[in-house]
Amino acid sequence: MAAGVATWLPFARAAAVGWLPLAKKTMPKPPVDKKSRNDEILIVNVSGLRFQTWKNTLDRYPDTLLGSSEKEFFYNEDTQEYFFDRDPEMFRHILNFYRTGKLHYPRQECIQAFDEELAFYGIVPDIIGDCCMEEYRDRKKENQERLSEDTEAEMATDTPLPPNSTPRERLWRAFENPHTSTMALVFYYVTGFFIAVSVIANVVETVPCRPIKGSVKDLPCGEKYSVAFFCLDTACVLIFTFEYLMRLFAAPNRCKFMRSVMSVIDVVAIMPYYIGLVMPENEDVSGAFVTLRVFRVFRIFKFSRHSQGLRILGYTLKSCASELGFLLFSLTMAIIIFATVMFYAEKGTKGTNFTSIPAAFWYTIVTMTTLGYGDMVPNTIAGKIFGSICSLSGVLVIALPVPVIVSNFSRIYHQNQRADKMRAQQKVRLARIRLAKKGTTNAFLRYKEEGGLQDHDSDSAALCLKNRSSFEHQHHHLLHCLEKTTNHEFTDELTYSEMCMTESVGYRTSRSTSLSSQQAVSSSCCPRRAKRRAIRLANSTVSVSRGSVQELDTLQVQKSSIGPQSRSSLNARTEDLKLNCEQRDYTAAIISIPTPPANTPDESLPPSPAVPGILRNSRTTSYTQEAVKISSL
Amino acid sequence: MSACAKRCKHGLVKFAVSVHKLVTGTLIKDKVDDDLEMTMVCHRPEGLDQLEAQTNFSKRELQVLYRGFKNECPSGVVNEETFKQIYSQFFPHGDASTYAHYLFNAFDSAHTGSIKFEDFVTALSILLRGSTREKLQWTFNLYDINRDGYINKEEMTDIVRAIYDMMGKYTYPVLKTDAPKQHVDTFFQKMDKNRDGVVTLDEFILSCQEDENIMRSLQLFENVI
């Protein structure tokens, strides 16, 4: 839940008075806040630098170190202050986060040191404000790249394929990432080699070789060694065709692949050969065939699969298309104007080259781009004057858009980078919000099932729930009031769907009994399924658990434990260790739970059997088994 | 096939747009963001002494309240959108926006469209430190959406439905669609003494005072601050 919202909670609770006349049941008692309610100034001593702040400020973010009871571990009784042996300069930023709600990244600090401080104080880096987020991400990426360059030499593999991928998927991967397998790499280099060979052959076959004996004329090499070149061409085209067909076969979406630029280039590169094969040896048609051979030069574009730089260039050209288009358009306008003027200026001259306006286009282009071939020159004075104006304006017209285009290149390039980053960040933010929402709902459900709903008279029960912040108490009380108002209770998605199922089948038995019976059956004959099901149950209320593999015994009772939640979840959930309120003796053996020893099984079973709401939460199987004994719904 | 045609059309439109951009020579690609920062409406509340006199809070409590309020809304006012967002965060299960809307109107007694700190504190003072009659009157104002002095069945149904919306989908027992309506019928049976279809303020207060559950619950919210 977002932080500053904590300050609005009292008001939301006060507004709950509006529900009272409607309520079907009596409202529950509110939690008693034993802690002193007066706001006080806390002194936080960070390596000698004393910071002072209101207690409420720190309480805004209850799932961080300073906002939770964890700071009590750092409390120094003698000096009556909280002492942290950390960097005081960094702490300034951390404290500003509490004050303003925005975390800023200090640019002069090392990114890793900053990350470590955040981790220590339990603050998620994702909440860095927009103003500093980009800088933070850039630095972090830079740092990571630098680090990964060292480790890249060791592991030169990409992410491993999913274990059961079809050969087609593997083939596609091999094409897209040649570094994944040796075969792919070999193929990659072979095709690259053949592209180079083909291009060189195309170039060389037009070079004049020494004439064959008996002839005077210089022959191009292509005609002299036509058989050799033909064989070379055939070999290249065979390889290219094979490659294209393989790609087509492996592509996950063939239609899309066929429309992609690279595949079009591939087709254009190999088509002339096949057309040449089927073309008859006709005189006039072979002229067209020769033109087609020009397309063979497109084979050089196949290199763009091999070169990242070419791809980037192509992309940036595409994104600057409008600027280039504008340049072209303005040039065209200028050309037309000047060509017209030159034509009419030179019209009278005898034997002039400016035979028509389109003929004058060539002169204008050559002059404006300051080439000046000299094949067309004006003779009249008016022509010369206009010619000089033309060349001057040419410099301007061309020189002006070019820097704009260049700056557009860099701007658009960086903009695209930023847009991608922003999109990724947005996704992360949305995911975090969703996670936080789920976290709060789960927290309340867990709170209910742990017996938080009864009046806390016993000390043991109070001790159990001690770790929960007063904010949590109050929020859960508010939700509880809503439940009483509507006479319905909150559940989670799983139990709801199960309820729907059991209702539809028409079982009259209690949910818990049905659930436990299912469990019993499955646990005896299908241990794996029980394990998966129980893990699913466990996971449905635990959003972040540190990878604790929970193997469940196939015998009766299992204990499940929740790993200490990483503080990096921005939920106002209580994570942490729960004290073992009531020890029950379970007969099952505990299978090794490979989680850190800080785990304690939490078993707070409901002391009173009569509350139906608690049995509903299907978190642990042991839970429901006990429930069978106790109650009957 | 229609998807293909749509794509073709889309491509044509894009081409036409690009030609237009070409001709008009738009070199600048990004749209100018003329989202000028609107002049921040800054509101300062009346003096601490005045507020202390007007409400039932002590100076310290007012200080605590104001610090929280100011931190959330540096400009000093809350508009309805912000209010809805804040309130929705307390009820992640369901949709709290409708109820938040009614609540906002109840707080914004002057119908200015925004809640200032004085409104905030006045309402809190009534809810937490007011007499029973004042609390019930506030609740009556909450239910009486159009402020005509009567609560009729439609208004009540709206409110109750908004409350049920906050529960979300996953409830036990499963929420039936006519649950709000039933709830409203029960309510009217209890409150509407003369069976004229509307509940007046006096009927409301009288009925609530007869119900000891309500009376007892009213005392619970004293120590919220």
CATH no., domain A41-156: 3.30.710.10
The per-residue pLDDT for A371 is 92
Residues of A in contact with B29 (CB under 8 A): 322, 408, 412
Q: Where are the alpha helices (DSSP H) in A542-617?
A: 612-615
- CATH 1.10.287.70 maps onto chain A at 315-429
Q: With an 8 Å Cβ cutoff, is B217 touching chain A?
A: yes
**According to the per-residue pLDDT averaged within each range, which of A381-390, A540-549, B128-137, B153-162 is highest?**
A381-390
Pick B139's closest partner by Cβ from A20, A27, A404.
Answer: A20
CB contact under 8 A, B89 and A1: yes
A570: confidence class by pLDDT, cuts 50, 70, 90: very low
Tell me how close the Cα of A151 comes to any Cα of chain B, in angstroms.
Answer: 40
Domain termination residue (choose one: B128, B152, B172): B128
CB contact under 8 A, B124 and A8: no
Chain A and chain B share a number of CB contacts under 8 A equal to 186
The per-residue pLDDT for A517 is 41
Peptide bond into B173 cis (omega under 30): yes
> From A613, which residue of chain B is nearest by alpha-carbon distance?
B172
- For residues A98 and A53, the answer to whether their CB atoms sit within 8 Å is yes
Question: Which residue type, as a one-letter code, is found at position A573?
Answer: R
The per-residue pLDDT for A511 is 43
Which residue in A3, A9, A64 sits closest to A470, CA to CA?
A9
Residues B116, B212, single domain; the answer is no
- For residues A22 and B163, the answer to whether their CB atoms sit within 8 Å is yes
> From A319, which residue of chain B is nearest by alpha-carbon distance?
B29
Residue A302, CA atoms < 13 Å, CB-side half-sphere: 32
Residue A505, CA atoms < 13 Å, CB-side half-sphere: 11
pTM over 0.90: no
Residues B104, B193, single domain; the answer is no
- CATH 1.20.120.350 maps onto chain A at 177-306
Tell me how close the Cα of A437 comes to any Cα of chain B, in angstroms.
Answer: 6
Q: With an 8 Å Cβ cutoff, is B89 touching chain A?
A: yes
Residues of A in contact with B159 (CB under 8 A): 22
> B71 in a domain, yes or no?
yes
> B1 in a domain, yes or no?
no
Residues B166, B112, single domain; the answer is no
> B2 in a domain, yes or no?
no
Pick A22's closest partner by Cβ from B91, B138, B187.
Answer: B187
> B32 in a domain, yes or no?
no
Pick A16's closest partner by Cβ from B124, B187, B221.
Answer: B221
CB contact under 8 A, B86 and A408: no
Residues B77, B21, single domain; the answer is yes
Residues B116, B171, single domain; the answer is no
Rounded to whole angstroms, the maximal C-alpha distance in chain A is 119
Residues B85, B12, single domain; the answer is yes
Secondary structure E strands in B40-184: 77-79, 114-116, 150-152, 171-172
Residues B108, B210, single domain; the answer is no
Distance of alpha carbon A449 from alpha carbon A451, whole angstroms: 5
The per-residue pLDDT for B53 is 87
- For residues B84 and B90, the answer to whether their CB atoms sit within 8 Å is no
Full domain range(s) for residue B65: 7-27+45-128
- For residues A347 and A317, the answer to whether their CB atoms sit within 8 Å is no
The per-residue pLDDT for B18 is 72
Pick A27's closest partner by Cβ from B138, B142, B220.
Answer: B220
Q: With an 8 Å Cβ cutoff, is A102 touching chain B?
A: no
Name the A residues in 582-621 with CB < 8 Å from any B CB: 613, 616
The domain over range A177-306 is classified in CATH as 1.20.120.350: yes
Residues B12, B117, single domain; the answer is yes
Residues B52, B151, single domain; the answer is no
Q: With an 8 Å Cβ cutoff, is B201 touching chain A?
A: no
CATH no., domain A315-429: 1.10.287.70
The per-residue pLDDT for A419 is 58
- For residues A471 and A572, the answer to whether their CB atoms sit within 8 Å is yes
A2: confidence class by pLDDT, cuts 50, 70, 90: low
The per-residue pLDDT for A516 is 41
Q: B26-63 b/e with 16+ CB inside 10 Å = b?
A: eeeeeeeeeeeeeeeeeeebeeeeebeeebbbeeebbe
Total domains in chain B come to 2
Q: With an 8 Å Cβ cutoff, is B92 touching chain A?
A: yes
A241: confidence class by pLDDT, cuts 50, 70, 90: very high
The per-residue pLDDT for A373 is 94
Tell me how close the Cα of A603 comes to any Cα of chain B, in angstroms.
Answer: 23
> B166 in a domain, yes or no?
yes
The per-residue pLDDT for A321 is 79
Q: With an 8 Å Cβ cutoff, is A441 touching chain B?
A: yes
Q: With an 8 Å Cβ cutoff, is A508 touching chain B?
A: no
Residues B75, B96, single domain; the answer is yes
CB contact under 8 A, A412 and B172: no
Quick: pLDDT tens for A395-442.
888 787 677 767 767 766 665 566 567 667 777 878 888 888 888 777
Answer yes or no: is pLDDT of A604 > 60.
no
Quick: pLDDT tens for A287-345.
666 777 777 788 888 888 777 667 767 777 776 777 778 888 888 999 999 999 999 99
A361: confidence class by pLDDT, cuts 50, 70, 90: very high
Pick B27's closest partner by Cβ from A2, A404, A499.
Answer: A404
The per-residue pLDDT for B132 is 87
CATH label of the domain that carries residue B213: 1.10.238.10
Structure tokens at A603: 């078993």
Average pLDDT over all residues of chain A: 72
The per-residue pLDDT for A27 is 81
> B35 in a domain, yes or no?
no
**End-to-end C-alpha distance for chain A, whole angstroms:** 34
The per-residue pLDDT for A284 is 66
Residues of A in contact with B163 (CB under 8 A): 19, 22, 482, 485-486
Answer yes or no: is pLDDT of A160 > 70.
no
Residues B122, B179, single domain; the answer is no
Distance of alpha carbon A608 from alpha carbon A584, whole angstroms: 15
> B180 in a domain, yes or no?
yes
Distance of alpha carbon A577 from alpha carbon A562, whole angstroms: 9
A286: confidence class by pLDDT, cuts 50, 70, 90: low
What interhelical angle do A182-204 and A167-176 show, nearest 10? Answer: 50
Residues of chain B with pLDDT under 50: 26-40
Domain termination residue (choose one: B108, B128, B148): B128
Residues B113, B141, single domain; the answer is no
> B37 in a domain, yes or no?
no
